[in-house]
Structure 1
Amino acid sequence: MAWSITDSPDVFRAEAGAFVASRPDLHTMMLSGLDTIERLRSGEATPPAVLGWWRDEGEERTTGAFVWMPPHLLAASRLADAPCTSLAQLLSAGDHPFRGLMADDATIRLFSEAWKTVTGSTPESELHLRLYRLEQVAPPRVAPPGEPRVATAKDRDLLHAWCTSFVEEAGSLGADLDTFVDERIAGKGWRLWEVGGEAVAMAATTPTVAGMARITPVYTPPEHRGRGYGAAVTVAVSKAAQEAGAAHVLLFTDLANSTTDRLYQRIGYRPVSNYQIMQP
């Protein structure tokens, strides 16, 4: 039993595409990563890609997969013991420096044990996350003042500054900020909440891929917090994602922040699974 590896998105889709698309919620990070690789390769860039799928011996059905664009995080599906051990061996001997894995809690535990056995080093969990899926939009019972609008290129400096603040508070967005901001402006994925012509909160949605879109980031500057603006702009951007064709609207929260957990459940999001980001 071993991983099959390719750098070709076309080959990966032929071998593992049906498996990855079978659970757009659980495989959200793989779907986004694959979409990013394909979009970059359709232009002038040729980003490195390591794409893998797992089939048990004698089986034709794919039961595990990962998508990796070094040096970013590797995103994996739920994996059993054998593929975790094989993946640890593959990554420890690979050509690209391995900087971290994002997967569900059970996979992280198995992979961490395998990594320690293979390398002798003990990995650390950097973040504990919870994946939520939108069940039905439930606007706040007491709506805050203001209204949403689509952010445009004129808002770029503000979006960039707020994204920088978000990263300082919550951690990396996993992409170059200039690219992250500009792609979402071009795709009309940003929403600002305005009160009296002043922007007081922002939220963005990823492009819809395989019926899935993910809300990230959601940010309210400290001076505007506690007034319901974050919930309101999240409702607005969630509706926008649905209108763009997303049947699965998702978001991750940091389990260390109980406030956001309660907020998202109040507006219609329900827990799916817990995830971790592990660093070797």
Structure 2
Amino acid sequence: MNVVRHSGLERWLEEVSEPLYRHEAEHSLLLGLAGEYLAGSDPIPEGLGAWSVHDRGQPVGAALVTPNNMIISRMPDEAVHRLIESLGEQGIELPGVVGSAEAAAAFAKGWANTSGRTAVLRMSQCLQSCRNVAWRHRSPGVFRAAEAADIPVLTEWARAFECEVHGEEAKHDLEPGVRRRIEKGRSFVWEVAGIVVSNASIGRPTRSSITVNFVYTPSEQRGRGFATSCVAEVTGRQLHAGRRFCCLYTDASNPISNAVYSKIGYRKVCDSAWWVFKD
């Protein structure tokens, strides 16, 4: 097997699209993120790296290295080992790795052995997809696209979301991302009596899907079905618009959110994991 470091994201995507699209939902993060960068929907981060692993000339694995994490596809164990060797030889430093539970665990263990750093499981996740919305009950309130006037509260919620997911405050300004999602018509809210009570966004489109993300309801508004109604509405509208399915990630240890998404019609695609590397 050989590992190729690509100088351009477009060439990388051409090389790995076929094997990744065989399992489109599982690889929606890789495919969608690359698509966003190439379309200019998200700014390409400094230091973005793209790799592919080949066996007898055919791609069998893919990886993107961002400032936050490395994202890997499913790949044979031998491909994981070759990727680790290649990254180590090139002096690449990695803050963490995200991928299917099996691939991420194999890489994390191997990278820890090679780099001398400690691999810590940051979060066990569940990647889910929905092809048909089963949830028909609507909570009181109305669904609408987020507007410029919502930026202050949604930025505050984005900070709270980051703290809940990552356990610490974001190290960068979150307002530009909030503003960008609103301007692109990708951010939606549930509103009750003129007060915004829940938020959900969409992003990372692939050939057949789009991802629902940044789902957040402030603690004082939880338990009333607002997030369920908001996500169900977002999902249903995307399916009606022609998406074959919608994807989202959940915290595998949170039975409440997983039950909510199951009611809507989301079903498990695979287990996913996020590992971080510490000195």
Q: Is the TM value for this pair above 0.5? A: yes
In the alignment, is the contact (CA less than 8 A) between 2:145 and 2:188 conserved in 1?
Answer: yes
Counterpart selection for 1:226 from 223, 227, 245: 223
**TM-aligned CA deviation for residue 8 of structure 1:** 0.5
Amino acid aligned to 1:122: T
1:72 and 2:68 equivalent?
Answer: yes
What is the aligned counterpart of 1:101 among 74, 97, 104?
97
Once the 2 structures are TM-superposed, how far is the Cα of residue 25 of structure 1 from its aligned partner?
0.7
Q: CA RMSD in A?
A: 2.3
What TM-score results when the alignment is normalised by the length of structure 1? Answer: 0.90
Q: Give the partner amino acid of 1:62.
A: P
Which range is displaced more, 60-69 or 246-255? 60-69
**Residue 231 to residue 191, structure 1, CA distance change in 2 (3 Å):** same
CA drift of 1:243 comes to 4.1
Distance 1:48 1:113 in 2: 24
For these two proteins, the number of residue pairs brought into alignment is 275
The CA distance in 1 between the partners of 2:57 and 2:271, in whole Å, is 29
Residues 38-83 of structure 1, C-alpha deviations (whole Å, 9 max, x = no match): 244998x673321111121xx23321111223x1211111122111
Q: 1:178 aligns with which of 156, 175, 180?
A: 175
| Amino acid aligned to 1:100 | G
Q: In structure 2, what is the Cα distance between the partners aligned to 1:206 and 1:245?
A: 15
Which residue does 1:117 correspond to in 2?
113
Alignment partners' CA distance in 1, 2:45 and 2:69 = 18
Q: Any residues of structure 2 matched to 1:192-271 within 5 Å, and which? A: 192-271=189-268
- How many angstroms does 1:89 deviate by? 2.2
3-state SS of paired residue (2:212): strand
1: distance between equivalents of 2:92 and 2:107?
A: 18
Q: Do the aligned residues in 2 keep the contact of 1:139 with 1:235 (CA within 8 Å)?
A: yes
Question: What is the SS of the residue equivalent to 1:216?
Answer: strand
Aligned counterpart for 2:145 among listed residues 137, 146, 150:
150
Question: What are the ranges of 5 or more consecutive residues in structure 1 without an aligned counterpart?
Answer: none
Partner in structure 1 of residue 35 of structure 2:
35
Which residue pairs with 1:63 in the alignment? Answer: 60
1:84 to 80, 90, 94: 80
Tell me if structure 2 keeps the 8 A contact 1:33–1:68.
no
> In the aligned structure 2, how far is the partner of 1:176 from the partner of 1:30?
24
1:190 aligns with 2:181: no
More strand, by proportion: 2
What is the one-letter code of the residue matched to 1:168? C
SS of 1:136's partner is coil
Query: Of 125, 131, 152, which residue of structure 1 is paired with 2:127?
Result: 131
Question: Which of 34-43 and 203-212 deviates more?
Answer: 34-43
Quick one: distance in 1 between partners of 2:275 and 2:39? 27
Relative to 1, partners in 2 of residues 1:169 and 1:278: Cα closer, same or farther, differing over 3 Å?
same
Kept in 2: contact 1:37–1:47 (CA 8 A): no
- Kept in 2, the 8 Å contact 1:193–1:201? The answer is yes
Q: Shift in Å at residue 139 of structure 1?
A: 2.1
Q: Report whether the alignment pairs 1:10 with 2:10.
A: yes
State the 1:246 CA deviation.
2.4
Match of 2:120, as an amino acid? E
Find the residue that maps to 1:131 and give its secondary structure. strand
Residues in 2 aligned to 1:174 and 1:228: alpha-carbon distance in whole angstroms: 31
Q: 2:156 aligns to what SS in structure 1?
A: helix
What TM-score do you get using the length of structure 2 for normalisation?
Answer: 0.90
Equivalents in 2 of 1:120, 1:42: separation in Å? 33
Percent sequence identity over aligned pairs: 23
Shift of 1:174: 11
Task: Call closer, same or farther: CA 1:231–1:51 in 2, change over 3 Å.
Answer: same
**Residues 33 and 67 in structure 1, CA contact (< 8 A), matched pair in contact too:** no
Moved more, 146-155 or 10-19: 10-19
Identify if the C-alpha distance between structure 1 residues 93 and 250 changes in structure 2 by more than 3 Å, giving closer, same or farther: same
Q: Point out where structure 2 has 5 or more consecutive residues left out of the alignment.
A: none
